[in-house]
Chain A
Amino acid sequence: MSRLRQLFFALVLATVVAATGSHLLVGWLKIKTSASEPLTFGKSNGAPPAFRAGSSLADYGIDWERIAAQTDTEIKAWGIAAGSPYEWEQFQKKVPEARTTYIVVSAYDMDEANVCDFRAALVPLSDTIETLRAIHADWQYSKRALSQYPMTWLRTLFPTLGRSRGVMGRLHENVAKLVRPSAGSFGTEVGPTLEVGKEKVVDSYRLQKVSDWSESQIIGKLAAESAALQGSRSFNGPKNLAFERMLQYGCQRGPTIVIVMPVSRSYSKEFMSAELVQEFEAAIADAHRHTPRVEWLRLDQLAGFDSDQNFCDLVHMNVLGQKIATEAFQAWLKQIARQP
C-alpha cells in the first residue's frame, strides 16, 4: 500500500474509532444529546394552553404540575438544558395559541458567559448573524457564537465533542457506582446537562443539600463552574435582547409572568460580584420599564433562599427548595387572582 493510501486508511480508521467511542460513551453515560424536549404539565381542558420558558432551573425550582392544577391550564414547555431566552425565544412562537406566558429566569441563565450547549442546534445561523450585527458584537464574541455551529455539525460524528464537563462528571459518577455499588447518587459536575422534567420520582440527586457538602466538594464544583463560564460576564447582551422580545410577544397575547429564580449562596458568593448584581438588577429594571404590563415574582428575594440548604447543586434547587418556591408561587398566583 502506498504511503498516501496508508495515511488515508489511518485517518479513516482513527475517525471510525473516535466516532464509535464517542457514541458508545454517550450511550453508557446517558448524556443528553437532544437539544430540546417537549414537556406538558397538566391536562388540556379545551382552553388555550400556557407557555412556559425556562431552563432546568425552572424544573428543579417549581413543581409545574401543581401550578397547572391550580390554574386549571395545560402548560406547554420545552426542556433545554442551560437554556436562556436566546434559545427559548425559538419555542415561544410554536405555541401561538397560548394566552398566559411564564418566563423563568435567573442570574445564571441570563449571564452571557454561560452559553447553552445546544444554542447552535436551536437558533438558526442567520438569526445569530443578525443578532451579532444588531448588537455590534466584537470579534471575540462573534467567534464564540459562530464557532458553535461547526461544533454542532461535528457532533453528528462525535456527540461528546465540547461536552467534556458532562462526560467527566458522569464518568466520575459511574465509576464510583461501579466501585461502590451501594453508594447513592452524589454531586457530579454534570450541571446543566442533567435531564429535566422527566423525573416524577425524586432522585437522590435532588435530595442533597449544598450546605451538607464538604468544602472540598464545593471548591471542585466552583472550579468546574468557573471553567464553564466563557468570555466576559454580562447581563446586557443577546440574551437580554431576546428576553425583552419574549416579554413583548407574551404581552401581545395575554398575561405574562416572569419568575426570577435564586441561585445558591455559594454560587452568588463566588460568581456574582456587586457590579454584576447591579448589572443584573439594571437589566431586570429595564425589562420592567419597557414592558410595564408584565407581572414579576422575585423568588430570588424571598427570605430563606439566601442559604445553600435549598439547593442540590450550585444553581438547582433541591426538593426542599422546590417546595418552598412552589408554595410561594402558588400563594402569589392566588393573590394575583384576587386582584381586580
Chain B
Amino acid sequence: MIFTSFEFVLFFAVVVGVRSCLRNFNAEKWFLLAASYVFYMSWSVPCGFLILGTSLTDYFVGVGLGRIEDERKRKLLLVVSIVANLGVLGFFKYTNFFLANASTSLNVLGFEVPRWHFDILLPAGISFFTFQSMTYTIEAYRRNIKPCHNLRDFLLFVAFFPQLLAGPINRAVNLLPQFAQRVRATVLEFESGLAQFAMGAVKKIVISDQISPHVDMIFASPANYDAFTLLQGVLGYAVQIYCDFSGYSDMAIGCARMMGFHFMENFQMPYSSLSITEFWRRWHISLSSWFRDYLYIPLGGSRKGKARTYINLLTTMLLCGLWHGASWNFVFWGGLHGTGLAIHRAWKHRDPLAAFKEHVLFRLAWNMFARLLTLGMVLVGWIFFREHSWTAAWQYLSRISTWSHDGTRFASPYILASLAAVFLIHLVTPKDSNWSVDVQKRPVFVRGLAYGALLLLIVCFGATDATAFIYFQF
C-alpha cells in the first residue's frame, strides 16, 4: 500500500473516519494498532510477525530496565536489545553480503568454495523500525525516558503506519508520550498536514516518478552515452532520490499531523548546503541525528582529540553507508561522506580564509564555491549509491571526468525541467522554512489557490502508476 495509491487514500480515510467516531481512548489505540499491522501486512504477512517479535523483545527489555538497578544487568539487557535488533537486521539484510564476501575471500586464499547465497526476503522498512525501536531501549537504559508499561502503546510506537516503512525514524522520547494522551488534530494542524501530504505527492508522482524512467535508462548502460548525458543522469538521480524520499517523508509527516501526531522533519533544503556537514544536518535528518546520538557521540564524538574525531566521523559514515544497503558501493559512499566530513572539520578548525570572509563580495563568491563543491561531492556520492557495481560506478565517473564525447547525447526534457524546478526552489526558498506551516498564515483565498496549483500539478502531470519509494529497499 503506497501513499500515492487509491487504496492508501481509502485506507487513510477509513482510519481517520473510524478513529474520530471512537469514544473510548483504549479502543482508539487498539484500532490504530490493528490498522498499522494491516498496513504493514499488506506488504507481507509473515513480516508482520517479525515486527511483532522485535517489538516484544524491546518492550520486555524496557520493562526490565525500569525494574533493575544493577548497572551490569542493565547493560546486559541493553546488549540483548541491540543484538536482537541488529541480529534481525543483519540476518535479513546482510547474510548474503557476508556470505558472498566470505566465499570470495576463501577463493582468493586458495580454498575452492561455491558462491553461497540464500533466498532471503528483505522485510520492508526493517532498517527503519529496528532503529526506531532501539531508540527506546537506549534511552531507557540512559534513563532519559520512563519505560513503557503498556504493551499496546509500545507496539503502536514501533508499528505506527505513517512512519513504518521509511521513517522518519522517530525517537521514543518524542513519539511514545503522544500515545499516552488522547490527541486530536486541530483544523489548523489538519490543513497543514494535508498541505504537506499534497506537497509530498507532487514531489513523488510529478517529479520523481516522471524522471525515473529516463534516469534508469542512462544508468542502465552508461557506456552508451556521452559525458553530458551522464552528468544529466546523475543530476536527475539527485533530484529523483530527493523528491522520492523527501516526498515520502512529507506524506508520512502530513498523515501523522492530520491525525494530531507530530513527527520530526526529515529534509530541509539539503542541496543548498554550504558544506557536507550542513548537508547531513538537512538530509535524512532523523537518520543522521540517530547516528550522531547513538554512534558518533558514544564513540567519543569530538571529545577525544582531532585524530579520534576524524576516525569517529569516518566510522559513523561507513556504518551509515552500510545501513543503506549490503554492498561495497554503499560502504564507499559512506566513506566518501565520512572523509568529506573529516576534511570539512579540519578546514573549519583552521579556516585560513576567515579574514577574507569579512568582505561581502568574497563571502558571496565563497558561498557559491562552497555550495558547488558540496553539491559536486554529493553528486559523486550518488553515482556510487545508484550504480549496481563498483566498476560501473568508476566507469561512470571517469567518463564524466574526462568529458567523454563517445556515445549518444540524450537531452531529457523531463530531467532538465525537474532539475530547474528543484534547484530554483532550493535557491529562492529560505533554508529552514516549512511551506505547509508557513502557508497557514496566508489568507484563505491564497491558500485555496496554492492547494489548487498543487492539485492541478498532480492531475495533469502525476505519473499514472504508483511506484514504490526508493528508500523502501533499505
Q: Which residues of A contact B (CB under 8 A)?
A: 1, 3-4, 6-7, 9-18, 21-22, 25, 143-144, 147, 150-151, 158, 160-165, 167-168, 172, 215-216, 219-220, 222-224, 226-228, 230-231
Q: How far is the CB of B436 from chain A (nearest CB, A)?
A: 13
When distances are taken between beta carbons in the complex, the residues of chain B under 8 Å from A168 are 210, 414, 461
Given A161-B459, A172-B413, do A227 and B213 touch, yes or no (CB 8 Å)? yes
Q: Tell me, rounded to whole Å, the shortest Cβ–Cβ distance linking B227 to chain A.
A: 14
**Nearest opposing residue in chain B for A226, CB measure:** B213
Contact of A147 among B5, B410, B414 (CB under 8 A): B5
Within 8 A of A (CB), among B163-189: 186-188
B452: A residues at CB distance < 8 A:
13-18, 21
Which of B190, B409, B459, B463 has the largest count of A CB atoms less than 10 A from its CB?
B459
**How many residues of B are in contact with the other chain, CB < 8 A?**
41
**Contact for A223 among B214, B411, B458, CB less than 8 A:** B214
Closest A residue to B186 using CB positions: A3
* Given known contacts A15-B452, A216-B410, A165 and B191 CB-to-CB distance under 8 angstroms: no
Residues of B within 8 A of A228 (CB): 464
| Contact indicator B460/A22 (Cβ below 8 Å) | yes
Quick one: which of A1, A18, A227 contacts B463, CB cutoff 8 A? A227
Q: Which residue of A lies closest to B447 (CB)?
A: A10
Inter-chain CA distance A231–B465, complex, in Å, is 9
Contact across chains for B459 and A3 when beta carbons are under 8 A apart = no
| B473 at the A interface (CB under 8 A) | no
CB < 8 Å: which of A9, A12, A22, A215 contacts B410? A215
Indicate if the CB atoms of A160 and B460 lie closer than 8 Å.
Answer: yes
A302 CA / B255 CA spacing, docked (Å): 56
Decide: B451 and A143 in contact? CB cutoff 8 A: no
Of chain B, the residue at the smallest CB distance from A143 is: B7
Q: List 25 A-B contacts (CB under 8 A).
A: A3-B187, A10-B447, A13-B444, A13-B452, A14-B455, A15-B455, A17-B449, A18-B452, A18-B456, A18-B459, A25-B460, A160-B459, A161-B459, A164-B210, A164-B461, A164-B462, A165-B464, A167-B460, A172-B413, A215-B408, A215-B410, A216-B408, A216-B409, A220-B410, A230-B464
Residues of A within 8 A of B451 (CB): 10-11, 13-14
CA distance A22 to B217 in the complex (A): 30
Query: How far in angstroms is the closest Cβ of chain B from A176?
Result: 10
A22 to B462: give the CA distance in the assembly, Å. Answer: 12
Answer whether residue B6 sits at the interface, using C-beta atoms and an 8 A cutoff. Answer: yes
Main secondary structure of the interface of A (DSSP, over half): helix
**Complex: A9 Cα to B451 Cα, angstroms:** 11
- Asked if A7 contacts B412 (CB within 8 A), the reply is no
- Bits for B108-146, please: 1 = Cβ < 8 Å to A, else 0: 000000000000000000000000000000000000000
Within B292-329, which residues are at the interface with A (CB < 8 Å)? none
In chain B, positions 236-295 with a C-beta closer than 8 Å to chain A are: none
Closest chain B CB from A30 CB (angstroms): 15
B233 → chain A closest CB, angstroms: 11
Please tell me if the beta carbons of B459 and A223 are within 8 angstroms of each other in the complex. Answer: no
Residue in A6, A151, A220, A224 whose CB lies within 8 Å of B6: A151
A164 and B414 CA atoms in complex are apart in Å by 12
B176: min CB distance to chain A, Å: 29
Q: How close is A226's CB to chain B, nearest CB, in angstroms?
A: 5
CB <8 Å contact, A9 and B460: no
- Among B210, B214, B454, B456, the residue within 8 A (CB) of A22 is B456
Look across to chain B and name the residue whose beta carbon is closest to the beta carbon of A10.
Answer: B448
Instruction: Find out whether the CB atom of B214 lies under 8 angstroms from the CB atom of A17.
Output: no
Q: A160-B459, A219-B408 are in contact. Are A12 and B413 (CB under 8 A)?
A: no
* Number of interchain pairs (Cβ within 8 Å): 116
- Which residue in chain A gives the minimum CB-CB distance to B414? A168
Q: Which residue of B lies closest to A147 (CB)?
A: B6
For B417, the closest partner residue in chain A by CB is A168
Q: How far is the CB of B190 from chain A (nearest CB, A)?
A: 7
Residues of chain B having any CB pair with chain A under 8 Å: 5-7, 186-188, 190-191, 209-210, 212-214, 216-217, 408-414, 444-445, 447-449, 451-456, 458-465
Residues of A contacting B191 in the complex (Cβ-Cβ under 8 angstroms): 3, 7, 10
* Closest A residue to B9 using CB positions: A150
The distance from the CB of B4 to the nearest CB of chain A, in whole angstroms, is 11
Nearest first, the 3 A-B pairs at minimum CB distance are A17-B452, A13-B448, A14-B451
Interchain nearest-CB distance for B120 vs A (Å):
21
Contact: B463 with A164, CB < 8 Å? yes
Shortest C-beta distance, B449 to chain A (Å), equals 6
Nearest Cβ on chain B to A53's Cβ, whole angstroms: 25
Apart from A13-B448, A17-B452, A168-B461: 12 A-B pairs, beta carbons within 8 A: A3-B186, A10-B447, A13-B449, A13-B451, A17-B455, A17-B456, A18-B459, A147-B6, A150-B6, A215-B410, A226-B217, A228-B464
Question: Looking across the interface, which residue of chain B has its beta carbon closest to that of A139?
Answer: B42
* Distance, CA A1 to CA B186, complexed state (A): 16
- Determine whether the beta carbon of B453 is less than 8 Å from that of A17: yes
For B213, what are the chain A residues with a Cβ–Cβ distance below 8 Å? 223-224, 226-227
Tell me how far the C-beta of A267 lies from the nearest C-beta in chain B, rounded to whole angstroms.
15
Given contacts A150-B6, A160-B460, A164-B463, contact A17 B187 (CB under 8 A): no
Given known pairs A7-B187, A13-B449, the reply for A167 and B461 (CB within 8 Å) is: yes
* A172 and B463 alpha carbons, distance in the complex (Å): 16
| Residue of B188, B409, B461 touching A3 (CB-CB under 8 A) | B188
Interface pair B214/A6, CB less than 8 Å apart: no
Find out whether the CB atom of A4 lies under 8 angstroms from the CB atom of B460: no
Cα A215 to Cα B408 in complex, Å, equals: 7
Give the residue of B212, B448, B464 whose beta carbon is less than 8 angstroms from that of A9: B448
The docked-state distance in angstroms from the alpha carbon of A14 to that of B453 is 7
Bound complex: CA A331 to CA B96 (Å): 61
Closest to B42 in A: A139
Determine the distance from Cα of A17 to Cα of B451 in the docked complex, in whole angstroms.
Answer: 9
Which one of B410, B464, B465 has the highest number of Cβ atoms from chain A below 10 Å of its Cβ?
B464
Q: A18 near B455 (CB under 8 angstroms)?
A: yes
Pick from B5, B412, B460: contact of A220, CB below 8 A. B412
Tell me the bound Cα distance from A118 to B217 in angstroms. 28
CB distance from B364 to the nearest CB of A (A): 34
Q: Which B residues lie within 8 Å of A219 (CB)?
A: 217, 408, 410
A contact residues around B455 at 8 Å (CB): 14-15, 17-18
B286 to chain A, nearest CB (A): 29
Asked if residues A147 and B7 are in contact (CB atoms below 8 Å), the reply is yes
> Is B459 within 8 A of A6, CB to CB?
no
CB-defined contacts of B447 to chain A, threshold 8 Å = 6, 10
Q: Which residues of A contact B445 (CB under 8 A)?
A: 13
How many whole Å from B46's CB to the nearest CB in chain A? 16
B contact residues around A226 at 8 Å (CB):
213, 216-217
Q: How far is the CB of A193 from chain B (nearest CB, A)?
A: 12
Closest chain-A Cβ to B228's Cβ sits at a distance in Å of 11
Contacts of A15 in B (CB 8 A): 452, 455
